[in-house]
Structures are given as structure tokens and as C-alpha cells.
């Protein structure tokens, strides 16, 4: 991302964002609510359109051309705060839908792939159920599996644990840690600072649509450079 700007009407949602993510890098983005962190990652797969600057994923620039957007979305998976599983389909069908309709994969192959990733997130026994029958943690793991079925090169996480009951946060975090350990490139908007310390290569702090500070997790948490970062950390770390 280079010099990215985005406004909602007169309100600047993102101002002059510059961010380079290397293959295999794990980045955690934090910041107060309304600071633009969700908007930032939603721009990366074209759910939001930026107005200035350039965003490119693996050499493909998001220009507004639908073909470019399609190409980027094939490479980029996304996990949402509210899971956004398809409630009218079973967990398995949630996972096979995109491989079958976007990649034209045969049904049998798509099912095998889906079961492989449902094993990965440790809920293969839930495959035949509908999302409404699963716990929140299981739903979010199903959503992660659904994304992985497209074999993305980059995964975006938009506050994946914020809608979960506390006792279910850990199972989702563990799934994300195991993904990180396998070398997945990840951009995570989260307030799970334990996760940030454990796996992040860089922690980015955003406020008012700007990147205020970006650093290695130990430096970020132990010696924040900016006053706004210190204030934010003092509020969330008890």
C-alpha cells in the first residue's frame, strides 16, 4: 500500500497509509475503535474502495477493474468479526461453495479439500450441521476453514474474537497461531495482545486513520515511542 487515502464524505477514514507486507509476515493491527483498522484491511480485498494511492497484492493492483478485484480476492481470504457463515448451508457446503463455483472444482475434490481444512481447525464432526447449531468458537473456526479452502496466499482477520464469549477466544487464537506457524501471511486486526506478542512480526498502531507506530512486538509493547501508543496500551493492558 502506498499513499492510500479514503474518505467517507468529508470524514477521512484513512490518511496516507504506507504499508509493505512481505510473504510469510504476520502483522497485528490495533488501535481505538474508529481508527480505520477495519477499513484498512477491507481495502486490501476491495470490499472498500480507496480514493487515492495504490494497493497491490502479489503484483496485482486494485484499480477498480472487476477483473483485478477478482484476481486479488482469489488470493486473499478474510475472516469477519460476525463470522458471516451462510446460515442456509451446512458447514461443509459453506466450505465447498467457493471452490466449486469460483474455481470450478469437482464436487468430490471440493469435499475432500473442505474436510481436510475442517480437520485442520478440529471440527470435522460438525461438517453436516448448519452454522446455527455450532458454538461461536466453532463457527469462527468453520469460517477460517471456509477461507482456507480457497488456498489464499494472504489471510485478513477483522477482529475475529471480538464477538466471542471469553471461554471460546482461546480455541480461535490457537487456530490462528497454528496457521501462523505454518507460514501463512497474515494481517490481523485484534486486541489479543498475547497473540500479538506470540506470533506477530510487526505490531501496527493506528489512530484517526493514520499509522502512528509500527514495530517489533517486544519493542512495541515494552518501549512504545509515541504518546498515543502509550496511552492506548495503558488502557488495554491491565
Partner 1 sequence: MSAGWAVVHERFRFILLGAYPRDQQWRPALAIVLFVALYVLSARRACWRPWLPAAWLAILTGAIVLMRGGPLGLARVPTESWGGLPLTLLLATVGFAAAFPPGVALALGRRSALPAIRALSIAYIEVMRGVPLVTFLFMASLMFPLFVPAGFTIDKLLRAQAALALVQAAYLAEVVRAGLEAVPAGQREAAASLGLRFGPATVLVVLPQALRISIPALVNTFIGFFKDTTLVTVIGLFDLLGTARAVIVDPRWFGAAVPVYLLVAAVYFTFCFAVSRYSQHIERSLMAHGHQ
Judged by the rule CB under 8 A, the positions of this chain that interact with partner 1 are 45-47, 66, 70, 73-74, 76-78, 80, 82, 84-88, 97-98, 101-102, 130, 132, 143, 146-147, 150
Nearer to partner 1, 130 or 230 (CB): 130
Cell of 192: 489479543
φ/ψ of 154, rounded to 5, equals: -135, 135
Nearer to partner 1, 15 or 84 (CB): 84
Nearer to partner 1, 73 or 202 (CB): 73
Q: How far is the CB of 87 from partner 1 (least distance, A)?
A: 6
Give 173-206 as a 3 state SS string: HHHHHHHHHCCCEEEEECCCHHHHHHHCCEEEEE
Give the SS3 label for residue 19: coil
Q: How far is the CB of 31 from partner 1 (least distance, A)?
A: 21
Q: How far is the CB of 139 from partner 1 (least distance, A)?
A: 12
Instruction: Please give the Cα distance from 181 to 196 (Å, whole number).
Output: 13
31 closest CA partner among 178, 181, 211: 211
Please report, in angstroms and rounded to a whole number, the separation of the first and last CA atoms in the chain. Answer: 33
Instruction: Please give the Cα distance from 54 to 4 (Å, whole number).
Output: 6
Nearer to partner 1, 17 or 41 (CB): 41
Nearer to partner 1, 47 or 233 (CB): 47
Nearer to partner 1, 84 or 178 (CB): 84
Q: How far is the CB of 213 from partner 1 (least distance, A)?
A: 28
C-beta atoms surrounding 215 within 10 Å: 17
Q: How far is the CB of 175 from partner 1 (least distance, A)?
A: 18
CA-to-CA dists, residue 54 to 25, 44, 73, 237, angstroms? 20, 10, 16, 35
Q: How far is the CB of 152 from partner 1 (least distance, A)?
A: 10
Amino acid at each position: 500500500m502506498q499513499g492510500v487515502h479514503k474518505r467517507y464524505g468529508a470524514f477521512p477514514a484513512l490518511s496516507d497509509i504506507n504499508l509493505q507486507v512481505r510473504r510469510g509476515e504476520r502483522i497485528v493491527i490495533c488501535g481505538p475503535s474508529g481508527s480505520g483498522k477495519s477499513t484498512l484491511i477491507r481495502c486490501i480485498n476491495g470490499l472498500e474502495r480507496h480514493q487515492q494511492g495504490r494497493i497491490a497484492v502479489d503484483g496485482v493492483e486494485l484499480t477498480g477493474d472487476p477483473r483485478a478485484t477478482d484476481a486479488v480476492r482469489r488470493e486473499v481470504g478474510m475472516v469477519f468479526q460476525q463470522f458471516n457463515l451462510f446460515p442456509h448451508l451446512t458447514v461443509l457446503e459453506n466450505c465447498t461453495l467457493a471452490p466449486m463455483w469460483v474455481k470450478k472444482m469437482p464436487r468430490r475434490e471440493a469435499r475432500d479439500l473442505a474436510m481436510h481444512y475442517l480437520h485442520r481447525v478440529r471440527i470435522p464432526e460438525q461438517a453436516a450441521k448448519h452454522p446455527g447449531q455450532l458454538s461461536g468458537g466453532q463457527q469462527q473456526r468453520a469460517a477460517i476453514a471456509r477461507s482456507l479452502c480457497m488456498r489464499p496466499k494472504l489471510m485478513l482477520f477483522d477482529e475475529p474474537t471480538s464477538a466471542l464469549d471469553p471461554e471460546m477466544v482461546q480455541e480461535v487464537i490457537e487456530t490462528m497461531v497454528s496457521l501462523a506457524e505454518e507460514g501463512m501471511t497474515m494481517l490481523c486486526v485484534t486486541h489479543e495482545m498475547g497473540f500479538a506478542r506470540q506470533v506477530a512480526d510487526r505490531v501496527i498502531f493506528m489512530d484517526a486513520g493514520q499509522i502512528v507506530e509500527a514495530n517489533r512486538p517486544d519493542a512495541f509493547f515494552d518501549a512504545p515511542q509515541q504518546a498515543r501508543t502509550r496511552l492506548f496500551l495503558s488502557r488495554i493492558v491491565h
